[in-house]
Amino acid sequence: MAQEIVKAGEEVVLTEETGRVRLITLNQPRRLNVISSDMVASLAKFLEKWEKDDTAALVLFKGSGRAFSAGGDLKMFYDGRMSKDPCVEVVYRMYWLCNHIHTYKKTLVALVDGISMGGGASFMVPMKFSVVTEKTVFATPEASIGFHTDCGFSYMLPRLQGHLGEFLGLTGARLSGKELVAAGLATHFVPSEKLPELEKCLIGLNSGEVNAVKPVIDEWSISCQIDENSILNNARLPVIDECFSKESVEEIIVSLEVEASKEGNGWIAPFLKSLKRSSPTSLKITLQSIREGRKQSLAECLKKEFRITMNILRIMISGDVYEGIRALTIDKDNAPKWEPSNLEAINIDKINEVFLPFKEDLELKIPNEEDCRWQGKYEGSSYANSV
């Protein structure tokens, strides 16, 4: 077994090559495998290399420690806040990498046995096969730190059933492994203790043929019955669809308040609290981006997200992202002071400016590739037959 290691202080990415199988291990367990510039560069290099390699057929992704990937390196963004174009290189490469994963020409399998959040989940959801366990935790919590739903999720979330995508993007709600399969954001559930054996079987298979890989994963997977308290049960989904179908964030909150006052709807309170604690500016941007994404291609979504990201980092209309990072990871007081502090004070014209195209030479340049891997895994999932 040949092993190639990329070193950057700590070994951020490990790769192994066995026959026609390639294995990527995200290897920053103490940092929950956050997405750094070194990680992005390494992943891009290896994926491009293997896509052109006729001897490579199957690529497996996994994370070390208790996280698959907890998302972007927030301190990296905070430290670069005074730059003219904060972190533009790593942001550009990350969006290019997201597109490459979605359109990859060889079979990708994610083995996710831990935290998979924000940008880190973009290494999971678009894979041909996304295998999760009882230890898997998913969320897109960007609005809570003054950011927006990115890394292709403005394309993926609106393709879930109903308005579940708006709910996940705005509230940062967490989903378990079983819920991910039920919602269509993952393909298989395998008990954590069985994951190493599945990995060995896939490596031993020595093939990337979908018709060969799927039966192996099917053999180790078990059917999922979501908990009766899951947000995906048949009593709660209609409430989510009704509330998150509203035109604006303000209307969504009012609708949730009305539903929360009804008997048996105490489950709404934590999500309502999350909305009210998040950056008002980020909530507005996130809702608009997800709504636009419903009618956009993957390439259009990624180009849009790149613009939004750079404009947020440049503090075009608000410095909320840096205030959110400060409160969460620098001072750790968990008391961000948003500006503006309420939804009513936000100028919608300012929000629209964040979405405007850049000059041609500043735009994200990726192919307008429609043959992307992820078209929404809801179809055929257990979602419709949940509790």
The domains of the chain, with CATH numbers, are 2-152+169-228 (3.90.226.10), 237-362 (3.90.226.10)
Q: Which two tokens stand for residue 308?
A: 């939004």
pLDDT for 104: 95
Reply yes or no on whether 142 is catalytic: yes
Give the 3-state secondary structure of residue 108: strand
Active-site pick, 63, 71, 114, 119: 119
CB atoms within 10 A of CB 380: 9
Q: Which residues contact 329 (CB under 8 A, 6 or more apart)?
A: 74, 75, 78
- Measured between alpha carbons, how far is 85 from 298 in angstroms, rounded to an integer? 24
pLDDT for 6: 39
Give the 3-state secondary structure of residue 365: coil
- Measured between alpha carbons, how far is 358 from 354 in angstroms, rounded to an integer? 10
86 secondary structure, DSSP code: T
Active-site pick, 38, 113, 150, 179: 150
Q: Which single residue is written with the structure tokens 């069985």? A: 194
pLDDT for 373: 60
Rg of the chain over all Cα atoms, to the nearest angstrom: 20
- Measured between alpha carbons, how far is 319 from 298 in angstroms, rounded to an integer? 28
Active-site pick, 142, 166, 199, 323: 142
- Measured between alpha carbons, how far is 242 from 23 in angstroms, rounded to an integer? 43
| Residue 113: closest CA among 187, 226, 189 | 189
Angle 382-164-231 (CA atoms, 0-180°, nearest 5)?
65
pLDDT for 360: 75
CB atoms within 10 A of CB 78: 18
Active-site pick, 63, 71, 72, 165: 72
- Measured between alpha carbons, how far is 140 from 163 in angstroms, rounded to an integer? 15
pLDDT 10s per residue in the chain (387 long)?
333 333 445 689 999 999 999 999 999 999 999 999 999 999 999 999 999 999 999 999 999 999 999 999 999 999 999 888 889 999 999 999 999 999 999 999 999 999 999 999 999 999 999 999 999 999 999 999 999 999 999 999 999 999 999 999 999 999 999 999 999 999 999 999 999 999 999 999 999 999 999 999 999 999 988 999 999 999 999 999 999 999 999 999 999 999 999 999 999 999 999 999 999 999 999 999 999 999 999 999 999 999 999 999 999 999 999 999 999 999 999 999 999 999 999 999 999 999 999 887 789 998 776 666 666 544 444 433 332
pLDDT for 276: 97
Reply yes or no on whether 150 is catalytic: yes
CB atoms within 10 A of CB 192: 14
pLDDT for 379: 43
Q: Which two tokens stand for residue 63?
A: 């994370």
Please give the biggest Cα pair distance in the chain. Answer: 60
| Residue 387: closest CA among 192, 178, 218 | 178
pLDDT for 277: 97
Q: Which two tokens stand for residue 158?
A: 């609106």
Question: Using CB atoms within 10 A of its CB, is residue 80 exposed (0-12), middle (13-18) or buried (19+)?
Answer: middle
| Residue 21: closest CA among 200, 211, 218 | 200
